[in-house]
């Protein structure tokens, strides 16, 4: 799975001695680089940045949505509307986020098929992922009466009015489940064929449409929090249409080959579920650690909870940059493996890691010496700010010990080595809870941060050691 083997293809290969560009039967432009020289390295670094930057720009628009929803909820008649949106968004993101494995799985399979020049495999990945997304999404829509009420009450203290508003939000929010899951597949497929600019453009456009739709439905049409959720759902369906049109425009030579025979391909579906089970383990463990980190801060005190929440915003901001580079790694590693080009693979991996280390080093310096200006934008509470600054040096270590985890996840997605990702996350998660149990009483909140850093360090170390063994030699 993680070697440079792939399904056979008759696609002509360009020479790997010197630099040239060829157009293969799929209509793609394939770049080859000088091996062992500065020219290849420079070109490859530029390629990583070219693929990463659109994803980074797309990622940084995401917080805008939640801020706008909260701002609109804060101007509604009832103060509980803010809490209802927070609860509804948290439940929706948790349920839909579990299925982010569709994005990662689709990207890895697609990138390898792209590298191999296999149009049939590209169509099978798109159709199989879409079938899974639609099936799960329609089930979430149909089963809403069974889970919405319990979900709305899970994260609050029993307020009847709050529960009703949260249920209203969730009822409309999950109408968008089929589109949200299809977006994972479509985005994954387009990242796999290296159309990051299209993904970025549609993401930014749909986010702006989300704000517009939500405002119109919530206020002029007086739908309240339900309007905010329905606006998001409508924007997701609009994004699906835009991505489909964009994909057809750029890849009609592939997509026009689609026929009913690609709708059902059990071997591809089996591969999805085989890879997906480890990605699910990874996602659930990640969420468990993140949620417990916030919960444990709240058990120490409200001020610590607020301070940790602010610092996690810094971590989230850093993750947007790392995820952008990781997406580039997914596409380039998968392409190299699909093309059976070990030389290219051995160049891509260290290049990606060097770019990530550079950004991590910059982030560490900023977090250590200049955190106050950013944190001051998020709060004017002196006690919270002072508490957050107590942990500044712990936070400064986070980019250095975590960048490898982000980037190796991208490398391993491209290689479809989800087992390494899942197992490394399980061991790292267990390390977090073990270190927390040992350090929380003698060290308090500092012990919580030590546990979090231990988790990130173990995760990075394991994916690096276990992942790199596949590419040595």
Residues 322 and 407 sit within 8 Å (Cβ to Cβ): yes
The DSSP call for residue 222 is -
Confidence band (pLDDT; 50, 70, 90) for 10? very low
Instruction: Report d(CA 254, CA 105) in Å as an integer.
Output: 20
Instruction: Report d(CA 328, CA 244) in Å as an integer.
Output: 21
Burial class (CB in 10 A: 0-12, 13-18, 19+), 217: buried
The alpha carbons of the chain give a radius of gyration, in whole angstroms, of 23
**Residue range 275-291, pLDDT digits in tens:** 888 988 998 999 889 88
Mean pLDDT value of segment 351-368: 95
Instruction: Report d(CA 426, CA 227) in Å as an integer.
Output: 39
Burial class (CB in 10 A: 0-12, 13-18, 19+), 347: buried
**Residue range 24-74, pLDDT digits in tens:** 455 554 444 333 344 455 588 889 999 999 989 888 877 767 668 777 887
**Residue range 369-410, pLDDT digits in tens:** 988 887 887 777 788 888 989 999 999 999 999 999 999 999
Instruction: Report d(CA 259, CA 473) in Å as an integer.
Output: 41
Residues 6+ apart with CB under 8 A from 326: 406, 407, 409, 410, 413
**Residue range 77-115, pLDDT digits in tens:** 776 788 788 888 888 988 998 888 889 989 999 999 999
Residues 315 and 290 sit within 8 Å (Cβ to Cβ): no
Helices 225-255 & 177-192, crossing angle to 10 degrees? Answer: 40
What is the overall mean pLDDT for the chain? 85
Show the tokens assigned to 201.
Answer: 């453009």
- The pLDDT of residue 19 is above 50: no
CA distances from 407 to 263, 314, 452, 463 (A): 33, 18, 18, 9
Q: Which residue has the higher pLDDT, 344 or 20?
A: 344
pLDDT at 192: 94
- The pLDDT of residue 338 is above 50: yes
Instruction: Report d(CA 372, CA 320) in Å as an integer.
Output: 20
Closest by Cα among 174, 166, 161, 172 to 150? 166
Total H helices, total E strands in the chain: 18, 2
- The pLDDT of residue 263 is above 80: no
Closest by Cα among 180, 216, 173, 181 to 86? 173
Residues 344 and 336 sit within 8 Å (Cβ to Cβ): yes
E strands within 299-343? none
pTM here is 0.82
Closest by Cα among 133, 75, 85 to 269? 133
Residues in the chain: 473
Residues 6+ apart with CB under 8 A from 372: 385, 389
Mean pLDDT value of segment 443-471: 92
Show the tokens assigned to 61.
Answer: 């628009």
Confidence band (pLDDT; 50, 70, 90) for 230? very high
Residues 236 and 96 sit within 8 Å (Cβ to Cβ): no
Measured over the CA atoms of residue 223, residue 224, residue 228 and residue 229, the dihedral's sign is negative
Name the H helices within 99-224.
Answer: 101-116, 119-142, 144-154, 160-173, 177-192, 196-218
Closest by Cα among 60, 66, 59, 31 to 45? 31
CA distances from 56 to 24, 79, 161, 320, 366 (A): 29, 34, 39, 6, 19
- The pLDDT of residue 311 is above 50: yes
Residues 328 and 352 sit within 8 Å (Cβ to Cβ): yes
């Amino acid at each position: 799975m993680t070697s440079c083997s792939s399904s056979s293809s008759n696609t002509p290969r360009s020479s790997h001695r010197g630099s040239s560009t060829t157009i293969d039967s799929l209509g793609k432009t394939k770049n080859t680089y000088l091996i062992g020289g500065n020219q290849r390295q420079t070109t490859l670094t530029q390629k990583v940045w070219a693929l990463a930057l659109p994803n980074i720009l797309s990622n940084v628009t995401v917080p805008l949505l939640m801020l706008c929803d909260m701002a609109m909820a804060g101007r509604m008649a009832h103060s509980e509307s803010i809490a209802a949106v927070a609860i509804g968004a948290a439940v929706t993101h948790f349920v839909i986020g579990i299925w982010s494995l569709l994005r990662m799985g689709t990207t890895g399979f697609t990138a390898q098929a792209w590298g191999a020049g296999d149009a049939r495999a590209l169509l099978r990945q798109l159709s199989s992922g879409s079938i899974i997304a639609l099936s799960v999404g329609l089930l979430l829509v149909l089963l809403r009466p069974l889970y919405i009420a319990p979900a709305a009450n899970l994260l609050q203290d029993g307020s009847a009015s709050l529960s009703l508003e949260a249920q209203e939000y969730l009822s409309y929010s999950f109408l968008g489940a089929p589109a949200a899951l299809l977006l994972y597949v479509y985005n994954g497929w387009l990242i796999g064929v290296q159309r990051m600019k299209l993904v970025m453009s549609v993401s930014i456009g749909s986010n702006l449409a989300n704000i517009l739709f939500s405002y119109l439905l919530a206020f002029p049409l007086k739908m309240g929090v339900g309007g905010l959720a329905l606006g998001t759902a409508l924007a997701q369906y609009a994004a699906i249409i835009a991505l489909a049109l964009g994909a057809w425009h750029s890849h009609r030579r592939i997509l026009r080959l689609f026929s009913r025979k690609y709708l059902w391909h059990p071997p591809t579906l089996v591969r999805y579920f085989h890879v997906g089970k480890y990605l699910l383990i990874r996602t659930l463990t990640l969420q468990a650690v993140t949620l417990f980190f916030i919960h444990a801060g709240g058990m120490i005190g409200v001020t610590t909870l607020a301070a940790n929440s602010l610092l996690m915003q810094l971590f989230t901001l850093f993750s947007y940059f790392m995820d952008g580079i990781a997406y580039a790694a997914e596409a380039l590693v998968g392409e190299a493996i699909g093309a059976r080009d070990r030389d290219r693979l051995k160049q891509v991996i260290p290049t990606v890691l060097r770019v990530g280390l550079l950004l991590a080093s910059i982030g560490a310096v900023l977090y250590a010496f200049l955190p106050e200006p950013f944190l001051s934008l998020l709060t004017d509470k002196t006690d919270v700010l002072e508490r957050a600054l107590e942990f500044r040096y712990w936070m400064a270590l986070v980019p250095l010990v975590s960048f490898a985890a982000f980037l190796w996840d991208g490398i391993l997605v491209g290689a479809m080595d989800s087992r390494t990702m899942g197992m490394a996350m399980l061991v790292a998660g267990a390390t977090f809870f073990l270190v927390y149990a040992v350090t929380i009483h003698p060290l308090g909140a500092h012990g919580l941060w030590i546990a979090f850093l231990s988790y990130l360090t173990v995760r990075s170390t394991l994916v690096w050691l276990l992942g790199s063994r596949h590419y040595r030699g």
